[in-house]
A and B are shown apart, each in its own frame.
Chain A
């Protein structure tokens, strides 16, 4: 079976899950026939190797740790299917997040060290800033100071990497099993985070800032507009073209609950303007 044949199954499954969710929300027992049809569709999808790969890669880890029969898991399941539908449409996403075949989670850095390889600073706003390449060597230049400054003034939560991306790249699919990424997933759920801003820097940018949002798939138009206004009003030149985003934005943002955007800052940009623009952005949310 190919992707083309199973794609409609995925859409139908999404619809069936929505019906089951509505039933449960209204306090009704889910219709047995609908449950059976949903299970049948899952089994069909499982036979398609490509679609199974996409679906497995879209499943949040928290869902895999949920007990069977849990109602909360249903929502997570529907989210995974939404993500798979988008991935089926945009094939380029796979290479951007570093998704290989077959999907498997492997730890290549000792767990004991990995559990200490990130720093989380709690904030008060429902926004989390991430800087996955903030640790030397090969770190994103100036990004730690920029991230700390934005978090301190705006009140956003902040997650900084404490390990070089040579060892662990938190912005890739393969790092989802690492404590920092699992912790981030929990923070988003428990603190009801509305937005994730993934901060990077580069010395090879044409503009002061490049925005990555998987062609608008990970952020609502209104929020993107706010970000653009903040950048414009602070005299920051930006572009939405070119950057796609990485696995942090892709995996942790699910609309409408949480959006995600990658902000790549040029090391040649006037830092204070960019910082001010991003502080304004967080404050306006």
Chain B
């Protein structure tokens, strides 16, 4: 049995202070220039990578590996991350391998990892096998999501052990069970016209072509999808049979290569188990409570509690370990695990949460957009004018409330894996300049900018 795995990983570009840097175009320009003069690296890039893709946000970039045996994947991932990090350093940037920027993802931009897996004995998986792999992995999405959830801080606040990315992403919709349908023609909805101009496609040669359908409109932007010409996905209509695979998109980025590779290995192990089940003639049906467990995994991550088919409750970690016991033999036949996932310890637990230093009182106001504020300062202090001079201020001040962030992180050869400390300090922009705020200051009044408009009119009436 041949098992091929391919990875797509989206990365953030950062400036040297740890904030998003919007220069993916300059980075790729540099990368092409570097590769043109380095034959060895170029050959390696061609061996491991399909290419590097744009993302809608210019502070993101995505590398896509070729499908390969698991033994090659480690080298491919390390090479790809290094390749992009090298170009990032040369353009005064860094890469961050996280799913969510702790301050600037609000909730977008978001990163994710897509694991593509294909199993066959002759290089081309049958439709029946693809459907079984899809259904089997889909049945275990709650366990996969729970152990890979890795987006603990968003917008400067703790989000928890759940997956912020899965919660807020607009392109990770839940997938449906797959059905096999036979029809001589395909209908492409109008909204998919940018992918292919055909509205109706007449299949050639065969009167009836079997089609794998997991979404009636052929939308591939799901947490798990079947890809290839056997589906009703408009973009895949002209692809080859050999490209048929199952794509798992509901995986948060893993900071370390060990966790990333082990995640891919677990998904490959599940695919292998599905192939074995197909061989035994087992029909894979949707698990009971799948959607409820999926939602729980997204919300609580490893701390989720799943509902079993019989209604009993089980901790996400225990459910994951049960699954691991079952698929261990398949995993061992593909590769070996090296991260804490072996023991059901997610990366977020292993590397820990960043420390957050916040001024809660002001943070709450900002969250409600009540940023037009009057504050009574607890003591005299120096402010900074627009041109950098100091001025002394005391008593009541009026202005616009906003946070100033500073980030602490470790960087290794241009790669940032984790933020250690996120410090949020509030300031008031007044007519005189910027005034630092302290927790001991009193909030006299706080309204939203639009509320300020209404107040101005009310006061005009009174006067």
Contact = CB atoms under 8 A, between A and B. Distances in A.
Interface of A: 20, 24, 30, 32, 35-36, 38-39, 42-43, 45-46, 52, 55-56, 59, 61, 63-71, 73-74, 77, 80, 100-102, 104-112, 115-116, 137-138, 164, 166-167, 169, 177, 179, 182-183, 186
Contact of B92 (A46, A74, A138, A177): A138
A183 B387 CA distance: 8
Contacts of A56: 369, 448-450
B23 A77 contact: no
B392 to A, nearest CB: 16
Nearest to A71: B460
B17 A108 contact: yes
B399 interface: yes
Nearest to B26: A138
Nearest to B458: A39
Contacts of A102: 106, 369
Contacts of B17: 108-109, 167
Contact of B400 (A38, A64, A73, A111): A64
Given A20-B460, A38-B457, A115-B384, A65 B450 contact: no
A180 to B, nearest CB: 8
A2 B436 CA distance: 38
Contacts of B22: 169
A168 B366 CA distance: 22
Given A109-B17, A111-B404, A179 B386 contact: yes
Contacts of B450: 42, 45-46, 52, 55-56
20 contacts: A30-B461, A35-B461, A42-B453, A46-B450, A64-B449, A65-B430, A68-B456, A69-B459, A70-B456, A100-B106, A104-B366, A104-B402, A105-B400, A106-B403, A107-B402, A111-B404, A116-B388, A164-B92, A167-B16, A179-B387
B454 A43 contact: yes
B405 A68 contact: no
B253 interface: no
A177 B461 contact: no
A183 to B, nearest CB: 5
Contact of B406 (A24, A61, A110, A183): A110
Given A100-B108, A107-B404, A137-B92, A64 B452 contact: yes
Interface string B91-112: 1110000000001101010000
Contacts of A137: 91-92
Nearest to B450: A46
Nearest to B461: A35
Interface in B345-392: 366, 369, 371-372, 384-388
A61 B453 CA distance: 12
Contacts of B16: 166-167
B40 interface: no
Contact of A69 (B386, B404, B406, B460): B460
Given A107-B404, A177-B429, 4 more contacts: A43-B454, A64-B400, A112-B384, A166-B93
A167 B15 contact: yes
Given A46-B451, A68-B455, A105 B92 contact: no
A167 to B, nearest CB: 5
A74 B431 contact: no
Contacts of B419: none
Contacts of A182: 386, 429
Contacts of A112: 384, 388
B13 to A, nearest CB: 9
Interface string B141-177: 0000000000000000000000000000000000000
A8 to B, nearest CB: 17
Contacts of B448: 46, 56
A105 B431 CA distance: 17
Task: For the complex of A and B, list the 9 residue pairs with the smallest distance between their C-beta atoms, beginning with the closest.
Answer: A69-B459, A115-B388, A107-B404, A68-B459, A108-B19, A179-B386, A105-B402, A35-B461, A166-B15
A108 B103 contact: yes
A24 B460 CA distance: 10
A69 B108 CA distance: 38
Contact of B386 (A66, A80, A183): A183
A45 B448 CA distance: 13
B402 A106 contact: yes
A65 B403 contact: no
A111 B404 CA distance: 8
B427 A111 contact: yes
Contacts of B214: none
Contacts of A52: 450
A71 B463 CA distance: 11
Given A105-B400, A186-B386, A39 B103 contact: no
B457 A35 contact: yes
A70 B26 CA distance: 47
A139 B99 CA distance: 29
A59 B451 CA distance: 12
A256 to B, nearest CB: 22
A96 to B, nearest CB: 13
A26 to B, nearest CB: 15
Nearest to B93: A166
- B26, B384, B430, B462 interface centre (most CB from chain A within 10 Å): B384
Given A167-B17, A177-B400, A77 B92 contact: no
Contacts of A35: 457-458, 460-461
Nearest to B109: A100
A168 to B, nearest CB: 9
A128 to B, nearest CB: 15
Contacts of B386: 115, 179, 182-183, 186
Contacts of A109: 17
A131 B209 CA distance: 60
Contacts of A105: 371, 400, 402
A77 B453 contact: yes
Nearest to B459: A69
